């Protein structure tokens, strides 16, 4: 264990592992296929990064989260560790260069999106790379029982055939017992081997508040609970509306969603992380890879589609171990809205087929052509061209993705990339006769390393700031140098992609199997029902409800959720209980009464009266006869 602790100290400056990390690392070091079930913020990446640093070879990391992939590669590089990534949107030459660097350049970590695994180019070059470990992040995506199944994940088992003897580490934050079994089966584990810790969060209070005027209650909660907050809403438009409402009511707030330019997202994320902005109002695009420990509040104004999604988002509160709150603000209309998502998410089959047919026409693909073709994809332009509804068309394409005909990536933020295509001597010998140009080039060389060997992600705003220039000038300099083949400059672009994973089919031959459509729809409905049930259940501890969903048991109630607090308020002291029981017996002894009449007569709260009544009925001190409460003879019952 000492060698792993030494690596942890040297590269991450930590003195000890968190719970479960050391168990997983020792399992991997022993060559065992391993599943690690760790909550959000539990330090999953350490479990494959540390052991890899003690091995000879490269760790292949498979993850669908492009932004997180980029963050981890950058983070490793800042620690002096060689890391690279391959994802949709890279040119063929960039992919070849990256794979060559892995084969010959001592790259320790190669991050790839699951779609890359079926690429002929990737498979051909994989054999030249010394892979020592396969790490599968978001491993629940491989299970058709999971809430975010992705067909591309099924290719991982095939990759294992190319890498015999290489262990697999599968990692996820949320999985039901059914999904846990399926992950290990789909990844061809030699034997079941799962490490998990309790999902219970002692410092996190789960709260559900019912309100028709959600925004007024939001103001009240933010006023009463100080500290950094995340407010989740369903759609992009609403993020801006709620943020502006908060600003108008005196709160420091901003909004965030996937459609914002990357530099705007970076600025808002940085302001929130540094506590310059208190509240970030966002869609579920916000939070992945953001490890801010002091979030005191996570508030959902709209219900997520599943307990899995809710648990992950709520779990971003209180990672520092201090008291925090995860609150849902729920109205009577939310249940109906949630159920409408079922029909939105699963358009009828004919609409799905027609949408796929329109997609082939959009790219002018003949039937039987297009295998592995990749196209930039503008959903709005596509829907406008064929007069299709936006949301339903998107979900229709996602169903075709599940069926294995296409892959639809979400909009990817591709930052600007730069590579210098001449050698250092040639660059330094050039004289542009423009001091501003020369200054920008020198600042760029000082700001980034590796520019002569490969494409490097750059930030024009940062270069402009350091060069005391403007972003526009930096862009023009790089563009001009690209035209003269001194630089290879690829400006930032936000692009979703469509990949045809099979040749275009005539819709008469397209198969939407039961597993792809009916079974998935049924599972989606069950998750919707579970989420609605959680919001509406007010008698079972919130923490116990969530843990039960994930197959874990919590013997005692948390004591801090809204359900537990309500029970405490309604609990009776012995003295108060005796007084209420005595009064009930006195009233009923005088004459039989109905329960409603008794509740009107008593001066205590209805809940407390009912508690005492239940006790008296259980003990046969009173009974019910023809809807009347009657007192049973004292010598028969009172003891």
DSSP letter for each residue of 303-356? --SSHHHHHHHHTTS-TTSS-EEEEEEE-TTHHHHHHHHHHHHS--HHHHHHHH
Per-residue pLDDT, 638 = 44
- The pTM (predicted TM-score) of the whole model is 0.73
For each successive 10 residues of the chain (639 residues), what is the average pLDDT? 93 91 95 90 88 96 82 90 85 87 91 85 89 94 82 88 93 90 94 90 94 95 96 94 97 91 83 95 80 92 93 91 96 86 92 96 95 86 93 93 85 77 82 78 91 87 91 90 88 80 94 92 92 91 93 88 84 79 88 86 82 81 83 52
Q: What CA–CA distance (Å, rounded) separates 368 from 171?
A: 38
Per-residue pLDDT, 433 = 64
Per-residue pLDDT, 399 = 94
Q: Angle at which helices 606-618 and 574-590 pack, to 10 degrees? A: 70
Per-residue pLDDT, 288 = 65
Q: What CA–CA distance (Å, rounded) separates 314 from 333?
A: 22
Per-residue pLDDT, 376 = 84
515 DSSP 8-state letter? T
The tokens 């990949």 sit on which residue? Answer: 499
Per-residue pLDDT, 635 = 42
Per-residue pLDDT, 410 = 63
* φ, ψ for residue 520, nearest 5 deg: -65, -40
Per-residue pLDDT, 412 = 58
Per-residue pLDDT, 626 = 78
């Amino acid at each position: 264990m000492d060698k792993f602790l030494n690596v942890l100290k040297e590269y991450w400056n930590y003195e000890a592992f968190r719970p479960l990390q050391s168990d997983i690392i020792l399992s991997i070091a022993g060559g065992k296929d391993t599943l690690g079930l760790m909550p959000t913020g539990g330090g999953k990446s350490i479990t494959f990064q540390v052991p890899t640093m003690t091995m000879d070879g490269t760790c292949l990391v498979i993850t669908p989260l492009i932004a997180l992939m980029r963050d981890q590669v950058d983070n490793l590089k800042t620690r002096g560790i060689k890391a690279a990534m391959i994802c949709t949107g890279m040119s063929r030459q960039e992919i070849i260069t990256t794979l060559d660097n892995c084969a010959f350049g001592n790259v320790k970590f190669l991050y790839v999106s699951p779609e890359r695994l079926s690429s002929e180019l990737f498979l051909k070059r994989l054999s030249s790379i010394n892979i020592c470990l396969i790490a599968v992040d978001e491993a629940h995506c491989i299970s058709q029982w999971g809430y975010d199944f992705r067909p591309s994940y099924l290719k991982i088992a095939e990759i294992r055939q190319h890498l015999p003897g290489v262990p697999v580490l599968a990692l996820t934050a949320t999985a039901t017992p059914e999904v846990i079994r399926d992950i290990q089966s789909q990844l061809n584990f030699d034997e079941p081997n799962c490490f998990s810790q309790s999902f219970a969060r002692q410092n996190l209070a789960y709260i559900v508040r019912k309100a028709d005027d959600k925004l007024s209650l939001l103001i009240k909660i933010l006023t009463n609970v100080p500290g950094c907050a995340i407010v989740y809403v369903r759609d992009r438009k609403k993020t801006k509306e709620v943020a502006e409402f908060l600003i108008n009511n005196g709160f420091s707030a901003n909004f965030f969603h996937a459609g914002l330019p990357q530099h705007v997202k970076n600025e808002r994320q940085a302001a929130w992380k540094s506590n310059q902005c208190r509240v970030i109002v966002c869609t579920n695009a916000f939070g992945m890879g953001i490890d801010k420990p002091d979030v005191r509040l996570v508030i959902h104004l709209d219900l997520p589609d599943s307990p899995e999604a809710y648990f992950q988002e709520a779990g971003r509160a209180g990672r520092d171990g201090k008291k925090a709150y995860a609150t849902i603000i729920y109205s009577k209309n939310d249940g109906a809205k949630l159920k409408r998502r079922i029909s939105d998410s699963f358009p009828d089959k004919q609409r799905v087929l027609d949408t796929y047919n329109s997609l082939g026409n959009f790219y002018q693909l003949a039937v039987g052509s297009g295998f592995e073709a990749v196209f930039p994809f503008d959903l709005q332009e596509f829907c406008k061209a064929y007069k299709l509804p936006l949301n339903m068309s998107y979900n229709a394409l996602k169903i075709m993705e599940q069926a294995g005909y296409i892959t639809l990536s979400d909009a990817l933020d591709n930052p600007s990339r730069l590579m210098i295509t001449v050698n250092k001597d040639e660059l330094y010998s050039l004289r542009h006769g423009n001091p501003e140009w020369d200054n920008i080039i020198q600042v760029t060389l000082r700001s980034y390393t590796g520019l002569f060997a490969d494409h490097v992600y750059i930030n024009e705003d940062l270069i402009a700031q350091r060069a005391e220039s403007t972003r526009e000038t930096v862009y023009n300099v790089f563009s001009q140098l690209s035209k003269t083949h001194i630089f290879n400059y690829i400006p930032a672009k936000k692009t979703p992609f469509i990949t045809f994973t099979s040749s275009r089919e005539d819709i008469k031959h397209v198969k939407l199997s039961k597993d792809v459509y009916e079974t998935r729809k049924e599972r989606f409905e069950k998750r919707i029902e579970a989420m609605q049930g959680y919001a509406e259940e007010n008698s079972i501890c919130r923490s116990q409800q969530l843990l039960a969903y994930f197959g874990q048991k919590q013997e005692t109630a948390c004591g801090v959720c809204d359900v537990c607090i309500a029970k405490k308020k309604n609990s009776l002291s012995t003295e108060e209980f005796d007084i209420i029981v005595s009064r009930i017996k006195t009233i009923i002894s005088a004459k039989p009464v109905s329960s409603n009449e008794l509740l009107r007569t008593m001066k205590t709260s209805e809940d407390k009266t009912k508690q005492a009544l239940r006790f008296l009925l259980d003990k046969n001190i009173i009974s019910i006869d023809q809807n009347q409460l009657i007192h049973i003879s004292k010598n028969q019952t009172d003891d």
